[in-house]
Structure 1
Amino acid sequence: MKPRHDIYQTITAELAAAIDAGAGQWRMPWHHDGGTVMRPTSAVGRAYTGINRLVLWASAEAHGFQSGTWATYRQWTEVGAQVRRGETGTHVILWKKQERDEPTSADSDGEERSARFFARSFVVFNQSQVDGSPERTLASARPIGETAASAKLFLESVGVPVHYGPWDAYFRPDEDRVYMPDREAFDSDEDFISTLGHEIVHSTGSAQRLARETLRDYFKDRTIRAREELVAEIGASFLMADLGLGYSPRPDHAAYVASWLNMLGNDTRAIFRAAAAAQAATDWIHAHAASGLPIAA
């Protein structure tokens, strides 16, 4: 196994390269087409989350993989499949909990132990790289209009007021309210829902929800603003994948690309923090949505 610091450096470099490669068309690693194929899952159907979603999306885009199923060499063998000779795998991260021997600062008796998490890297292969993989039965895709209507109800049911009208899309923390243009202002249902999802992700950072520092300090510094926009971008892409809808590039976010590349160049853990915050926002939305929209299979 590579030293731990290499995991962060390797994955950050790969994602930075993917961001840079797509900058001309504003296409980032988290942009994806609709359908369940691009919601990365393991060979047994368990969904990949957080940074691993970004890594696998970027790898699928770079190699033209059409399957969303990934597994280690051993896992493929266990289901009767064989990775083809010469195939190159993709590194994903598994967080492991390790207890420390020393007591925490709050413990006077020394009986309790503090814990920390460390990252381990594993290599996985896409279903397109193996022979003999079992067929998975995927749920039939619903018409986009029907899916978008359900997605709108889902996002509006998390408890954040949404007001529609002749204005830009934004979240106002002081009012705890999302403002959205009417549907007619968008080219497609997916553009409309993805923009709504983006603003709802912003709303999860409010003080009464996840108290995200990057939302609190959004207007203080351009770098902080870029970090919050990265969280909202990634979080919205996670939501859209869960809902079975595509997430397309937004030209108005092109101005942040240079900031994101600079951020990743200066801090190899920045993208990990952004993906973790995006996953936390997505989890909060799923947990608080009153409209029970099934997650895409």
Structure 2
Amino acid sequence: MSSSTSVQRADVYSRVTAEIISAIEQGAGEWHAPWFHNGTSIARPTNVSSGKRYRGVNTLALWAAGFAAGYGDGLWGTYKQWQDAGAQVREGERSTTVVLWREIQVSRQTDNEGDDDGQRRMFARAFSVFNVAQVDGYERPATPTLPEAERLAHAEAFIANLGVKTEFAGSEAYYRPSTDTVSMPPFTSFRDAASFYGVWLHECGHATGSKHRLDRDLSGRFGSAAYAAEECCVEILSGLVLADLGIAHHPRPDHAAYVASWVKVLKDDPKAIFTAASKAQQAADWMHAQQPQAEEMAA
């Protein structure tokens, strides 16, 4: 089994997108996006060698694979990395694709004196990784988990530190770009605390796209490709940050309608999930950067 192979970008887009679509569509008539999770280790895919968390579309790909296979742990590594850790991937186990992007400088001579006009290009390299559930001979060190009350308090402080004005009134949750304000129903309107913070974070996610923050396209109307792309980006963002906070990310009541629109976007454009995941990771990084204490970000 090879630990890595060089592939063309189109192949990477197609392979990863196909795995994510498969995870969404599996099940008895009930689509489930892989960025919904229970807040445990499986929600925070981590590399066994570096101890760092995967980022962007790699997180989605590993969420999708973990959901499809029913894994209970988010620890992953290449064949060689597991060997280096003293473990062995079992024969016949199927790998999951992750992508490493490298920026390289391409030189192009512009005259006879040897001067070159350097251009920087991004190249994709695909790696095959395996979950800890697919190996023998590895014992995961115990990791402490904060009590739920502390995790919820952390979520409250995390959202407050974003500096996005929130008004608690009415029965609908939404972000209004014209006033840069989030509207939220009161806490008692939600089935549990995780749902409350998940929706609040989702709406604050839209606020990260304002002109004076990350400047995403927030003009799309419901049913349009732009609207679906923004919703997909923010749902992934919510999954990323809630995983960092150790809080479950529940599907919203209108989940089926949204997922149907996401699947159409992904099937029409294999690169769409890469774009959405990249923007979601950018927004997650922005949110973490607003916190008063430096937080370790994955690489």
Same fold (TM over 0.5): yes
- State the alpha-carbon separation in 1 of the partners of residues 22 and 182 from structure 2: 33
Are 1:205 and 2:209 counterparts? yes
2:167 to 144, 147, 163: 163
Asked if structure 1 preserves the Cα contact closer than 8 Å seen for 2:222 and 2:228, the reply is: no
Change (3 A) 1:99 1:169: same
Distance in 2 of aligned mates of 1:132 and 1:285: 38
2:73 is matched with 67
Whole-Å separation in 2 of the counterparts to 1:295 and 1:189: 25
Aligned partners of 2:295 and 2:104: how far apart in 1?
A: 36
Residues 189 and 221 of structure 1: CA distance in aligned 2, closer, same or farther (over 3 Å): closer
TM-aligned CA deviation for residue 28 of structure 1: 0.9
CA distance in structure 1 between the partners assigned to 2:268 and 2:31 by the alignment: 22
RMSD: 2.3
1:172-217 alpha-carbon deviations (Å, 9 max, x no partner): 111011111111000011100110111111110000000012x2x2
Q: Which residue of 2 aligns with 1:184?
A: 188
Q: Distance in 2 between matches of 1:295 and 1:147?
A: 18
For residues 24 and 198 of structure 1, the distance between their equivalents in structure 2, rounded to whole angstroms, comes to 26
Counterpart of 2:18 in structure 1 is 13
Q: Which moved more, 1:76-85 or 1:36-45?
A: 36-45
> 2:242·2:249 contact (CA, 8 Å) conserved in 1?
yes
* Cα distance, 1:112 vs structure 2: 5.1
- Equivalent-residue separation in structure 2 for 1:284 and 1:23 (angstroms): 37
Shift of 1:277: 0.5
Structure (1 or 2) with the greater helix fraction: 1
Within the candidate set 116, 123, 134, 1:129 is matched to 134
SS, match of residue 26 in structure 2? helix
Query: What are the equivalent positions in structure 2 for 1:1-297 lying under 5 Å apart?
Result: 1=5, 2-21=7-26, 24-43=29-48, 44-102=50-108, 111=116, 113-143=118-148, 145-213=149-217, 215=218, 217-219=219-221, 222-290=224-292
SS of residue matched to 2:247: coil
The answer to whether the 8 A contact 1:150-1:293 is kept is: no
Q: Displacement of 1:292 after TM fit?
A: 7.0
CA contact (8 A) 1:170 1:178 kept: yes
Quick one: distance in 1 between partners of 2:267 and 2:32?
Answer: 19
Count of residue pairs brought into register by the alignment: 289
Worse-matched range after superposition: 151-160 or 68-77: 151-160
Structure 1 residue 80 displacement after superposition:
0.9
- Deviation at residue 23 of structure 1 after TM alignment: 8.8
Higher mean Cα deviation, 2-11 or 242-251?
Answer: 2-11
Q: What is the CA–CA distance in structure 2 between the aligned matches of 1:170 and 1:24, rounded to whole Å?
A: 29
Q: In the superposition, relative to structure 1, how do residues 247 and 295 fare at CA in structure 2: closer, same or farther (>3 Å)?
A: farther
Give the whole-Å Cα distance in 2 for the aligned partners of 1:35 and 1:16.
23
| Cα displacement (A) at 1:254 | 2.3
Q: Aligned to 1:251, what secondary structure does the other structure show?
A: coil
Structure 2, unpaired ranges of 5+: none
**CA displacement at 1:295 relative to structure 2:** 8.0
SS of structure 1 residue aligned to 2:238: helix
Counterpart AA for 2:127: F
**1-structure distance, mates of 2:260, 2:28:** 9
Is the 8 Å Cα contact of residues 90 and 123 (structure 1) preserved in structure 2?
yes
State the alpha-carbon separation in 1 of the partners of residues 222 and 179 from structure 2.
19
Whether the 8 Å CA contact 2:41–2:72 is kept in 1: the answer is no
Contact 1:80-1:133 within 8 A present in 2 as well: yes
* Cα 1:193/1:291, change in 2 over 3 Å: farther
